[in-house]
Chain A
Amino acid sequence: MTMTAIQAGHGAAEAAGIHHPGIVNLIYLVAAVCFIWTFKLLAHPRTAVRGNLLGMLGMALAIGITLMDRGITSYTLIAVGLILGAGAGLFMALTVPMTSMPQMVGVLNGFGGGASFLVAWAELLRVAGAAPGPGLQFMVATALSGIIGGVTFSGSAVAADKLQEWLLPSKPIWFPRQQLINAALAAVVAVLAWLLITHPTWTAIYFLLVVLSLVLGVLLVIPIGGADMPVVICLLNSYSGLAAAATGFVLNNNMLVIAGSLVGASGLILTKIMCKAMNRSMTNVVFGRFGGDTSGPSADDVYRTVKASSPEEVAMLFDNAQRVVIIPGYGMAVSQCQHAVRDLTNLLESKGVEVLFGIHPVAGRMPGHMNVLLAEANIAYDKMKEMDEVNSLLEQTDVAIVLGANDTVNPIARTDPKSPIAGMPIIDADKARTVVVIKRSLSPGFAGIPNPLFAADNCLMLFGDGKKALVDLIAAVKEG
């Protein structure tokens, strides 16, 4: 069991020195421990960098010892693959803007799934013809790698594309009998998997299995809308890990199984946190239709008492303020105004005002999206408060600034049990003494419902693009 399937297959590992399978697996164990520490050190921003470096060390060890395998006869193609992949990966990592991080993670999820189904495919073709032929564990794991890897690859491509709004719009795409078609396709995939497992030499079935899984991945993600993307990205993150773990079962390699399950667990935890923050089940997010509910009060009725304000009027609010809480949403990423936010923060702090940030778990398009943007603008992480903590402070807050957020501050979630967002935990911006909402217009958020906060007595609307509104506001504060 300690030998990898490949080593066993080729009889390459002669029991001597560093090539002894026991030594190889020992190094793999060290690498696996490095990966566990990578995640453990992510528990605090101070230690997280060290954790990431440890992860790199583990990966280098694993790749290094694998390259020393005696069965490897040619390094030319390996070198080509390593250089191409590392070059492309580094280029993407160093050029991607922080606002596009959800797309980046989406693309990486996809390549992870892709690598898994390709490795399993190559292994199947190599082993199927040779004696003694593949066992049951090998075949089941291969089928699972093909299905999970395929769904992850194409699903992530669609998710990244929707986030970038490149070929597909971010809004949901629905067509008639969608669920029925998906269910039928999933059934065909299951039958193919069974055929492959019972007939290992029919390797063409694997190709068909992957193609249909790719189609299934596309169909599963196209009906999911922009604001539900955090859930999908987390779920695909989890799948990419589970696909790697399945490949570990194919190769009988414990390190792959450990690394894959860590990633799988991580994605599942994040998915759960995102669903809880929307008060919706995972089934509802993935299969349900959300938003567009028009049974509630109309926007015209709700917005009768909206007060439009000016930068000068808002600037005066800060004169006697002791605490200001800024609540960012996806709009901050769209207008890329995190640097203007930092300037306003510094200005207010120089006047002795305490500035904090209230960050809803599903603000933005992926978990932690807002935190990364604020960190990019050099805002200290200890000012970024989680929803529960900031809610306990909002009643003693002079000004709450809602910046490009909507559904995550809609008080109707607390009051109207029939609303589509009923029961969703929100940031209680309305409890601050004064609320300033910076927003382009009164258009609804993802839930498609009006927000009574905008018409509340203590609310002022500052209409306009986030960046421009903040620059005007900073100028007004400086003059005042």
Chain B
Amino acid sequence: MDPITAFVAVLTVFVIAMFLGFEVITKVPPVLHTPLMSGSNAVSGITVVGALLVTGHPTAWYVTALGVIAIVFAMINVAGGFAVTQRMLQMFKRKG
């Protein structure tokens, strides 16, 4: 596939996902806006996927080093984000 066609394909996914995001997230009530932010922190930790591939493949040592730091950063987001969101949502679940 030529580069321009490939780019437009990813761009299409980006634009549609932005619209989908606006539709879905507008329905989140203000009561849950803090868990929304911490939950989205966890989801943005998805960059860990790129970090894993960079670190695991044989390459120069400094590239591997950048990859390991990226894994640590992204995993702080993934684990910290999901765990703290769970902690908050449990509090909302208790009553009401």
Contacting residues of chain A (24-65) with chain B, CB-CB under 8 angstroms: 28, 31, 35-36, 38-40, 42-46, 48-49, 51-53, 55-56, 59, 62-63
In the complex formed, the residue of A with least CB distance to B80 is A89
Q: Taking the complex as formed, is A317 at the interface, i.e. its CB lies under 8 A from any CB of chain B?
A: no
A257 x B10 contact (CB < 8 A): yes
Tell whether, in the assembled complex, residue A381 and residue B84 are in contact, meaning their CB atoms are under 8 Å apart: no
Proximity string of chain A (288-309) to chain B, C-beta cutoff 8 Å, 1 when within and 0 when not: 0000000000000000000000
Contact with A257, one of B17, B24, B37 (Cβ below 8 angstroms): B17
Instruction: Convert A407-421 into 0s and 1s, putting 1 for each residue whose CB lies closer than 8 angstroms to a CB of B.
Output: 000000000000000
A240: which of B5, B24, B41, B58 is its contact (CB, 8 Å)? B41
Decide if B74 touches A372 in the complex (CB within 8 Å): no
A454 beta carbon closer than 8 Å to chain B: no
Q: Give the bracket for the number of chain A residues in contact with chain B.
A: 35 or more
Select one of A43, A74, A372 contacting B29, CB under 8 A. A43
Tell me the bound Cα distance from A260 to B41 in angstroms.
Answer: 10
Minimum CB distance partner of A45 in chain B: B92
- A85 and B49 alpha carbons, distance in the complex (Å): 14
Number of A-B pairs whose CB atoms are under 8 Å?
382
Stretch binding the partner chain, chosen from A100-108, A192-200, A424-432, A445-453: A100-108
Report the count of interface residues on B (CB-CB < 8 A).
85
The residues of B with any CB-CB pair to A shorter than 8 Å are 1, 3, 5-7, 9-10, 13-14, 17-18, 20-22, 24-60, 62-64, 66-96
**Which of A's residues lie within 8 Å of B, judged by CB?**
1, 4, 6-7, 10, 12, 28, 31, 35-36, 38-40, 42-46, 48-49, 51-53, 55-56, 59, 62-63, 66-67, 69, 71-75, 77-78, 80-82, 84-90, 92-94, 96, 98, 101, 104-105, 108-109, 111-112, 114-116, 118-119, 121-123, 125-126, 135-137, 233-234, 237, 240-241, 243-245, 247-270, 273, 359, 361, 366-369, 371-372, 375-376, 378-382, 384, 386
